């Protein structure tokens, strides 16, 4: 039972990043009856956009869809610097007073759903004092992102202890790192590497992108001409919606074309690369992956900045494997050696589901890897828990916005009816369980076994499609065969809840 002194919230949001601030907006705008707080492990708003400080850090999807639908991105710049995105999140939080609901330096470490009490018993740890804080919450909304904050992923490269230069991971970029005039090797070929290389090339002596295998890289306009035209010709409210839909549908169109006509997309990508690289450049070796477009995330470079740096000779790409670090650089399997003053290991993130929170239901630990996801936002047999997870093939916020609106509908329904519990339950015995994420990228494959599963049919399938989710989350009823509403307010409890 709940002790008298334990704080009770209607909604507890985990994380004050892009999603957590969005969730705060929807809870206070759509469910004004609900008390809520955002628990944030760090001492800053912004999550990803506060943590990552490497040179050139930016979005790689457009801000018209990465921004919130309720606060449209109002710059013409479609691809934005990390510092602008951080400011946008902070401004949103301040404008709506969401920042006043944040409890900084509080990491949620465990949550146990109590059916008797119809609430989560939550344990938080203060990250500054290690003090344990207990509280309860009617609904838990995890906006904790998808990766570890304390360190990124670095493979075990032999010989690093011999290297006399500096080794840096982009997730922990030293503020005072001086790379002017230096020889820099960036290991990796993903979004971070292709962002870093042209940004470092501005000041470094030379930057080499050392990749084991290439990624698909496409140039996108930093300012979108169609979005610009829509913004100039339509009235403000209409243009925001039109631009958002245009960008969402365009991204999805490119994704669908890549899945259905991979050979055509490969040819188009290659032709674009050839146009922007010096004549005779070895596109086949350095820009042609062995997998199909969108088997892994497509990397976008604004206004071809990577191709420009290669053409200018300030950056180059080497496709090879590392044998060992040496005192002065890295020795490759081909026998070549790359001399370096600084090596940047842009080797990725370490994925983490649910911010590492230990979940249990009535004292029984929940092994999330055995659970199905419901509509890509809740977990099978776990009551009153939603998770903000975005798309891997489009802007994160497109999905999180839909999730937040759906959660508001669930909360309002429970509040109106006095039913305090909503639990997705699978009755379909023929349903097949499949991995949650279809991407073949190393960082996904390393961790996907720890993630929940998706089912072979609605509502357990994860679509990675804004259009389908728009129907499933915005247009459809919150009542279906899987969702069980239960746990009425006991008769003796005078219900503030049922009042509205
Ligand atoms: C370098 C980089 C560039 C990216 N670019 C794009 C892009 O262009 N487009 C796109 O769609 N996506 C992009 N992403 C993905 C990006 O992470 C999302 O777009 C989005 O910022 C995620 O927001 P979030 O709030 O869900 O998670 P995060 O930004 O990760 O924030 C999560 C917050 O939760 C806190 N937290 C976690 N666990 C706990 C806990 N147990 N208790 C309390 N607090 C906790 C964290 O401290 C953090 O503040 C990028 C990611 C990276 C790393």
Q: What is the DSSP string of 24-41?
A: HHHHHHH-TT--EEEE-S
Q: How far apart are CA 385 and CA 403, in angstroms?
A: 12
Instruction: Using the mean position of ligand 1's atoms as its centre, give its distance from the Cα of residue 48 in Å.
Output: 4
Establish whether the linkage from the previous residue to 459 is cis, with ω within 30° of 0.
Answer: yes
Q: Can you list the residues of the chain whose pLDDT is less than 70?
A: 1-4, 438-440, 492-500
388 lines ligand 1 (CB under 6 A): yes
Rounded distance from Cα 401 to ligand 1 centre (Å): 14
Tell me the C-alpha distance between 243 and 252, whole Å: 14
Assigned token pair, 35: 């008390």
Q: For ligand 1, is residue 394 a contact (CB within 6 Å)?
A: no
C-alpha 345, offset from chain centre: 20
18 touches 396 (CB < 8 A): yes
CA distances from 393 to 128, 248, 250, 266 (A): 37, 10, 12, 17
**Ligand 1 atom with minimal separation from the 19 CA:** 25
CA nearest ligand 1 atom 42, residue = 107
Ligand 1 nearest-atom number relative to CA 79: 8
Cα–Cα distance measured from residue 278 to residue 294, given in angstroms and rounded to the nearest whole number? 26
Query: What one-character-per-residue DSSP string does 162-205 give?
Result: G--SEEE-GGG--TT---TT-EEEEE--SHHHHHHHHHHHTTSS
Q: Is the CB of 341 under 6 A from ligand 1?
A: no
The finding on whether 107 has its CB within 6 A of some atom of ligand 1 is yes
Q: Is residue 465 in contact with ligand 1, taking CB distance under 6 Å? A: no
Q: Is the CB of 22 under 6 A from ligand 1?
A: no
Contact 314 CB / ligand 1 (< 6 Å): no
Q: Is 143 in the pocket of ligand 1 (CB under 6 A)?
A: yes
Instruction: Report the atom number in ligand 1 closest to the C-alpha of 192.
Output: 1
Q: What is the pLDDT of residue 463?
A: 82
Ligand 1 closest atom vs CA 349: 53
> CA-to-CA distance for 120 and 103, rounded, in angstroms?
18
Report how far residue 491's alpha carbon sits from residue 489's, in angstroms, rounded to the nearest whole number. 6
211 in helix, strand or coil? Answer: strand
Amino acid 294: pLDDT? 82
Cβ of 145 less than 6 Å from ligand 1:
yes
Which pLDDT score, from 0 to 100, does residue 170 have? 97
pLDDT for the residue 498: 43
Residue 12 backbone phi and psi in degrees, to 5: -115, 120
Query: Looking at ligand 1, which atom is closest to the CA of residue 45?
Result: 49
Cα(458) to ligand 1 centroid in Å equals 27
Distance CA 181, CA 165 (A): 14
- Measured in Å, residue 161 CA sits from the centre of ligand 1 at 32
Could you tell me how far CA 281 lies from the centroid of its own chain? 34
**pTM here?**
0.95
pLDDT number for residue 500: 36
Predicted pLDDT of residue 76: 87
Distance from residue 166's CA to the centre of ligand 1 (Å): 27
């Amino acid at each position: 039972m709940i002790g008298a002194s334990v704080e009770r919230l209607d909604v507890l949001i985990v994380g004050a990043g892009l999603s957590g601030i969005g969730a705060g907006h929807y809870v206070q705008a759509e469910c004004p009856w609900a008390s809520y707080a955002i628990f944030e492990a760090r001492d800053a708003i912004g999550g990803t956009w506060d943590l990552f400080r490497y040179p050139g850090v930016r979005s790689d999807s457009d801000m018209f869809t990465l921004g919130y639908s309720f606060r449209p991105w109002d710059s013409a710049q479609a691809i934005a610097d990390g510092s602008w995105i951080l400011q946008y999140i902070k401004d949103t939080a301040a404008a709506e007073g969401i920042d006043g609901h944040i409890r900084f330096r509080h990491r949620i470490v465990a949550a146990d759903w109590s059916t008797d009490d119809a609430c989560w018993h939550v344990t938080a740890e203060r990250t500054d004092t290690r003090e344990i804080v207990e509280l309860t919450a009617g609904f838990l909304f995890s906006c904790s992102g998808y990766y570890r904050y304390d360190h990124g992923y670095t493979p075990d490269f032999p010989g690093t202890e011999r290297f006399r230069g500096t080794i840096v991971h982009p997730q922990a970029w030293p503020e005072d790192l001086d790379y002017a005039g230096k020889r820099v090797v960036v290991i990796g070929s993903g979004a971070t590497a292709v962002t870093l290389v042209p940004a470092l090339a501005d000041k470094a002596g030379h930057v080499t992108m050392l990749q084991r295998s290439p990624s698909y890289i496409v140039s996108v306009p930093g300012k979108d001409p169609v979005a610009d035209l829509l913004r100039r010709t339509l009235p403000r409210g209409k243009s925001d919606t039109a631009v958002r839909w245009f960008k969402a549908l365009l991204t999805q169109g490119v994704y669908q074309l890549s899945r259905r006509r991979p050979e055509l997309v490969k040819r188009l990508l290659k032709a674009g690369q050839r146009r922007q690289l010096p004549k005779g450049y070895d596109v086949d070796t350095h820009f042609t992956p062995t997998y199909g477009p969108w088997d892994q995330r497509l990397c976008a470079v604004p206004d071809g900045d990577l191709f420009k740096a290669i053409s200018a000779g300030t950056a180059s790409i080497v496709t090879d494997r590392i044998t060992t670090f040496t005192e002065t650089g890295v020795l490759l399997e081909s026998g070549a050696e790359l001399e370096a003053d600084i090596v940047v290991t842009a080797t990725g993130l370490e994925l983490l589901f649910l911010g590492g929170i230990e979940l249990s239901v009535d004292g029984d630990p929940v092994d999330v890897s055995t659970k199905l996801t419901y509509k890509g936002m809740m977990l099978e047999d776990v009551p009153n828990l939603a998770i903000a997870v975005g798309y891997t093939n489009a802007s994160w916020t497109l999905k999180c916005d839909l999730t937040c609106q759906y959660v508001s509908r669930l909360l309002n329904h429970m509040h109106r009816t006095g039913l305090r519990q909503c639990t997705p339950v699978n009755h379909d015995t023929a349903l097949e369980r499949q991995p949650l994420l279809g991407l073949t990228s190393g960082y996904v494959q390393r961790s996907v076994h720890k993630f929940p599963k998706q089912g072979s049919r609605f509502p357990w399938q994860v679509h990675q499609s804004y259009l389908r989710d728009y129907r499933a989350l915005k247009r459809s009823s919150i009542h279906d065969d899987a969702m069980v509403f239960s746990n009425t307010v006991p008769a003796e409890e005078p219900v503030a809840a049922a009042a509205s």
